[in-house]
Structures are given as C-alpha cells and as structure tokens.
Amino acid sequence: MKRKLRSSAPPGTTWEALRRAHWKAMGLSDEDLEKPKIAVVNSSSELAICYRHLDGVSEVVKQGIRNAGGYPIEIRTAAPSDLMIGMGHQGGYILPSRDLLVNDVEIAVEGGQLDGMVCLSSCDKTMPAHLMAAGRLNVPTILVICGYQPAGRLDGEHVDIEDVFVASVQAALGKISRERLVQMTDVAIQGPGVCQGMATANSMHVLCEVLGMTLPGSAPVLANSPRMFEQARLSGERIVGMVLDDLKPREILTPGAFRNAAMAMLAISGSINCIKHLQATAEESGVDIDIFGLTNELGREVPVLSAVRPNGEHTIDAFEHAGGASALLRQLEPLLDKEALTVGGRRMSEVVADAQVHDDEVIRPLSRPVANQASIVVLRGSLAPGSAILKLGAMQDAVARNFEGEAIVFESAAEAIAAIQRGDVKPGHVVVARGMGPKGGPGMAGGASSIVYALFAAELTHKAAFITDGQLSGLCNKGMTIAEVSPESAVDGPIALVQDGDRIVIDVDARTMDIEVSAKELERRREGLGVRELPDASGFLSIYRRDVQGMATGAVLLPCD
C-alpha cells in the first residue's frame, strides 16, 4: 500500500486548495504533487569560505532526489562561521547561531510539512544544529558532509588556519613579524570547506557518521572532491527511500548511538565542543543520557587511536586516506554497540564489517594506541559543581596529571592577554577568565582561545594553568586548559567567587577541580556579590541570554519536551 505523505493535504480542505495553488505556481506537475517533498537544507553564503561551495553540492543532492522519485525543495538558513561572525563583537554569536539555525529548519520543514530533509553540513555549528533539528522534528533526515578546505604551504612548510590562529597571537606579542603573519594568511586556505585539523568541524563530521546520520564513508572528505559529490548524490537518492520506509532520526539517535559517538570522540581526541553538541542533540531527541558522565566512564577504556593536528603531526588528509570514520569504527569494533541503526537502514555491525583500515599508523588498533589514557576528562568539584572540561589530547606526556597554584583572575580576554604581555602571569599561576559563558558572553564569546595562545606564546603553557567558563576553539589543545566551567559566573557559579591568590587544586586522575577556600568564606563572598551586571545585549543575543539553559543540557534554548 502506498504510504501517505504528510506533505499531501487532506483532500477537499482549504489547506489542500491553497497548497495546490502554491505548488502549481511554482511549476510542479500533478505527478510532482504525489512525490515525497524533500527539504535540501542549505546554508550557502558569501560571507565565509566554509559555505561558498554549497550551492554546487545542493544541485547534486537535488538531482539525486529526483533520480529516486522525490521532489527537492531547497531552503536557506543562517550560515554561522566561527572565524567570520565569531570575532570582533563583544557578545558571541557563534553558539547562539546553532540554536537559531535549528529554529530556521523547524520553521521551514515543520511549518511546510515536508516529508524529509537532507542537510548540507559544513562549519562547526551546522552539524549539531542539523542533528538537533533532526531529533526535534523527527522526520526522515540524512546529513551530507561538505568537506574540509585544502591547506597551503609557505617556504615548503604546511600552513593552515590553526597556524594562522597561533601566529596572530604571536605577532601581537612580538614573537613573529607582522609581515610573516600576512604571508601565512595569504596561503593558509586554498579552497572552500571547513578548517583543516581535528577541530570542531571535522570532529563533528566524524561523529555524525558514527551516530549513523550519514552514509558510511562520508567523513572526513576534501571539499569539492569527487568522493564528496558522490556521497551527496547517493544521499539525495537514499532520503527518498527513508521517507517511504518511514525511517526517522529517533530510531537512529539511540543511547547506543550516542555511546558510540562518545567513544569515537575520545579515540580521535576530538574537540571538547562535541560534548555539549552531543548533549544538545540528545536533549532535542528525547534521549535521557548524560554525555558528560559518559565521557568519563568511557575514557577509562577508550584510548587515543589517532593524532591529527592539533593533537599530533598527522593531517586530516592522512586521516581521510587511512579510511576516516569507517576505519575508526573498524578499530573500535570490540567496544561498539553494533545494534545501532544507520540512515542506510543497516546495523552498525554490517557497516563495520565492510570497513577497511588503509593505514594503521594514522588510525591505530586498540592493541597499539597513540595514548592509553583518556583524551578528554570532565572535572567536578567545589570550583565546578556542574562540570568543566579538560582536553589532554594525544601528547599526554607533556601534561601534568595535577596542578596546584594561586589564582590570578580576569573579567575579560583582553585583560588576561594584556597581563600576560606585561609579564604579570607567572609560572605556578592559575589564570581564571570568567564572564564568557552562555549567559555571560552572552553566547560564549570566543576570546578564551586567544588567552590559550597568549600563554603558549609566552612559554607558559606547561607552567601555568588556565580555567574559564567560556568555550575554546576546537584547535586549542595546549597544556592544563580547562573550559566550560559550570555553573558559569553569570549565574553566580563558584567561579564568580574566585579572588587573586586563592589556591586552586586540579587532580586529573580523580577528575576533580577545587578551590581551597572555606565554605563559610565562599558564602560571605557570595553575599557580597550583589546584583551582577552583565554586558549589554540587544536583539537576538538578549533573547538567547534570557532563554539559554545550563551546560548540563548542552546549552539548549528552553527545556525540550
């Protein structure tokens, strides 16, 4: 029996008449009206190189949909790029844009009662937004990974956007010349796509495949490569089958799938931002799971199997050629939930059986890991009753397992960087930068990453610790750096009470971070805080500040049913 499509309005209703008039005006034939209507979610934009190529990808996806008997309808959304809209503004538009994009998708796909969607996933916030929208709307959905940008070379050496980020801080501190920095910026990006390296975008690309929300063999992939376009075409064809089979995201986004994704995140030493994005996706999907707790649980059994920049010397190209996410799944096979379903309609057991590892130096087996200990740990304690995240990465010999030192506190990134430049920050200090959380930023402004690189440029990476309630770029992986402290200072979390000279104790093995100040003294300080004045926020950032939830939800907007 032919499946009823939700895009088909009940016969004889006003809705059917108005909808038919609208479709016919757009050129749809009577035959088209009977086809599955598939949204092609496109964030194409001329504002950022991450998205410049997506119109070409969209055309390939649409042709695949037509080939399979569907009717594609392209919709446009916000196009958040960390490098283009995340800098130069007091607030942080980047994390809020994730949730804005989810609502963009809802308005078009749910409002239009479309039958399914193919999401073109590119820069950092589009992937989690697409996953969150899939979980919220629960209509057949498949993500297309739109690839990483090619890097350049300068004087025979590899140069990518991570190198530019580091060099920009070094130039500001007088460590390299302005001329050298300009030369690097001129060659670092050689084409469209997301940042090179295992930063947030490529980490989330890999996790999308591990979650089962892309076709096998999708991630990572060079943008505009033949393999990327082939996966786009196949995805367009597959979504029609998913609609006809009524295969929905909540059948795929199960606790087992999230467990597999957390394993993969640890095995590649992915961006710490993945934790909140996975948690937010679980929230939107109605899955009761604690990704923060799961990270610590799995960290005791999942070693680091790959060390792609900034975790090691391998490039993202090498990871792709070694087999990518599919090869990683193959190496993790003994630990995986193999009953997890994928958009292809197959179980993870079948996907893993077909996977091949082409270079087991780049993606190693469990028996020969890059590092045996957890690459990411979640700390809790009197300074972080909710959570705080420390990325140890693959180069763990260089990171101490504990740190004790005196706090030196700053209310902004600019203050902290100026103090580092003056030499006020000394070995043994714990640099505390606050007011950068979801409400405090508002929107987790990105200045915390610059502090990490300033400490690096000042040769303090392994001599001082850094703690913030802000978020870090996925490229940040240097020393005892702890981010996303929760509760944040804007809601009077303990980080708001820290004063210069307070002793802070970090114990990685115990997963704790404490402030050695009596409860009585902390309470006295809390009473003295008064009404906290937050930076001015208007427009969407003011709405975000009002409605954003705590980090335990992945910082989603308002509780989800």
Q: Which of 43, 45, 473, 486 is catalytic?
A: 473
Distance of CA 34 to the CA centre of its chain: 37
Paired tokens of 479 = 């020393």
Letter string b/e over residues 286-313, b meaning 16 or more CB atoms within 10 A of that residue's CB: ebebebbebbbebbeebbbbbbbbbbbe
> H or E stretch including 421?
helix 413-422
Q: Is the peptide bond before 249 cis (omega within 30 degrees of 0)?
A: no
SS3 252: helix
Residue 478, CB half-sphere, CA atoms under 13 Å: how many? Answer: 23
Rounded to whole angstroms, what are the CA distances from 385 to 71, 283, 380? 50, 21, 5
Q: Which residue's entry shows tokens 């080939």?
A: 67
- The torsion angles phi and psi of 484, rounded to 5 degrees, stand at 55, 40
> H or E stretch including 520?
helix 519-529
Paired tokens of 431 = 């640099």
User: Is-catalytic flag, 269?
Assistant: no
Q: Is 511 left (phi over 0), alpha (psi -120 to 50) or beta?
A: left
SS3 556: coil
Straight-line distance from the first to the last Cα atom of the chain, in angstroms, rounded to the nearest whole number = 33
- Whole-angstrom Cα distance, residue 237 to residue 56? 17
Q: Which residues are catalytic?
A: 473
